Amino acid sequence: SGPIDTVPLVNATRDLDWLKARCSQLILAKTLLAGHFNTIEVADQVNAMLDRFLAVGLRRRATTRK
């Protein structure tokens, strides 16, 4: 297994609940005060989430390969 990044639709809560029930390590994050163009409107939030995603995902992957 490896890290997964997704940008869900507004009505995708049911799918996220299904995924969380099957993946106990799932971490969800949402941007605040942004509309459709969140990568432009709140780029700092998106970049921070991606940095964290990569740091945690790569660290876990390195740990499981040892």
SS3 state at 19: helix
Tokens 């780029």 found at: 43
Q: Is the pLDDT of residue 1 over 60?
A: no
Instruction: Give the start-to-end residue ranges of the domains of the chain.
Output: 13-65
Task: Give the tens place of pLDDT for each residue, 9-46.
Answer: 666 667 778 888 888 877 778 888 888 888 899 999 99
Provide CB contacts within 8 A for 29, sequence distance 6+: 49, 52
**Per-residue pLDDT, 30:** 82
Helix-strand-coil percent breakdown of the chain, rounded to 5? Answer: 55, 0, 45
**Per-residue pLDDT, 29:** 82
